[in-house]
Amino acid sequence: MDFESYIRDIEDFPKPGVTFKDITPLLNNPEALNKACESLLSMLEGLSIDKVVGVDSRGFIFAPMLASKLGAGFVPVRKKGKLPYKTLAEFYSLEYGVDALEIHTDAINKGEKVLVHDDVLATGGTAKAVCKLVEQLGGEVVQCNFLIELSFLNGAEKLNGYPIKSLLHY
């Protein structure tokens, strides 16, 4: 399936000079949504996965679907202050400052095999912070996968040492 035809470019969003890759047309089409999930699953063949971590907020779209198909648990990683239970935080740099992500302290058990999923790999800061959270809880990141990778931003370099798979590359 030509997934790129379901990705729309939004110029100057969220700020001037940025071209945002909007996945909502793909989400609006049931066939494209199912095929994208199947394609993301096919990138996991041969992997043993106990938990699928979805990154706030668009990582929450495919991560639970993947977890369900894999017979794995789903773990949300959210922006600071959004999770109700005891959390562990990881701070990371943005092009305009610092932000933090949090995970529940009981979300991952020592030795569990973890898939980290987000919609887009851009500069890699968010994904790197999530991997650190998983490892601090004793989990093993077996793969980071993304619907879209913006290769020109070199985010994969920040994830050096982690297996990375992306459905689309720009």
Q: What is the pLDDT of residues 95-136, one digit of tens each?
A: 667 899 999 999 999 999 999 999 999 999 999 999 999 999
Q: How far apart are CA 161 and CA 116, in angstroms?
A: 14
The residues annotated as belonging to the active site are 58, 95
Written as one letter, the residue type at 23 is: I
Query: Is residue 26, in this structure, part of any structural domain at all?
Result: no
Query: Is residue 62, in this structure, part of any structural domain at all?
Result: yes
Q: Which domain holds residue 154?
A: 47-169
Given a cut of 70, is residue 160 above it in pLDDT? yes
SS3 sequence, 4-34? Answer: HHHCEEEECCCCCCCEEEECHHHHHCHHHHH
Q: pLDDT tens for residues 54-83?
A: 999 999 999 999 999 999 999 999 999 999
Query: Is residue 7, in this structure, part of any structural domain at all?
Result: no
In angstroms, the first-to-last Cα distance of the chain is 17
CATH, residue 62: 3.40.50.2020
How many C-alpha atoms does 97 have within 13 Å on its Cβ side? 2
Query: Is residue 33, in this structure, part of any structural domain at all?
Result: no
Query: Is residue 93, in this structure, part of any structural domain at all?
Result: yes
Which uninterrupted H or E stretch holds 61? helix 59-70
Other CB atoms within 10 A of residue 74 CB:
18
Query: Is residue 85, in this structure, part of any structural domain at all?
Result: yes
Query: Is residue 77, in this structure, part of any structural domain at all?
Result: yes
Angle of helix 59-70 relative to helix 30-42, nearest 10 degrees, comes to 60
Q: pLDDT tens for residues 13-47?
A: 999 999 999 999 999 999 999 999 999 999 999 99
Quote the number of domains for the chain.
1
pLDDT of residue 93: 84
Sign (positive/negative) of CA torsion 45, 43, 124, 31?
negative
Query: Is residue 10, in this structure, part of any structural domain at all?
Result: no
Which residues are CB-neighbours of 60 under 8 A, at least 6 positions away?
54, 76
